[in-house]
Amino acid sequence: MTDTSPSRLLRVVLRADSWATTSAGTMTLIAALLTLVSTDTVTGVVAATVLFAAWVAVGWTGRRHQRLGGRNRTAEDR
């Protein structure tokens, strides 16, 4: 990783990853997914699928950034 700061989009994604990996974030996302799926509509299932895919993509991006030399999260970042 270079010494330049991450782009604005990457910072937003990393902040979302930081929130999603907390207990409250994970429980909120699981509750949202279950609520969307339980609507028994195609729209709800599609929305749940999109939300889950975004959750996975954000987590993958956060892991990749950390592995490629990004700063490890500390208590101050949460």
Q: What is the DSSP code string of the chain?
A: --SSPPPHHHHHHHHHHHHHTSHHHHHHHHHHHHHHHTT-SHHHHHHHHHHHHHHHHHHHHHHHHHHTTPPPP-GGG-
Residue 35 token pair? 């609520």
Per-residue model confidence as pLDDT tens digits over 34-69: 999 999 999 999 999 999 999 999 988 888 888 887
pTM for the model stands at: 0.72
pLDDT, tens digit, 9 for 90 and up, residues 1-20: 455 677 888 888 888 888 88
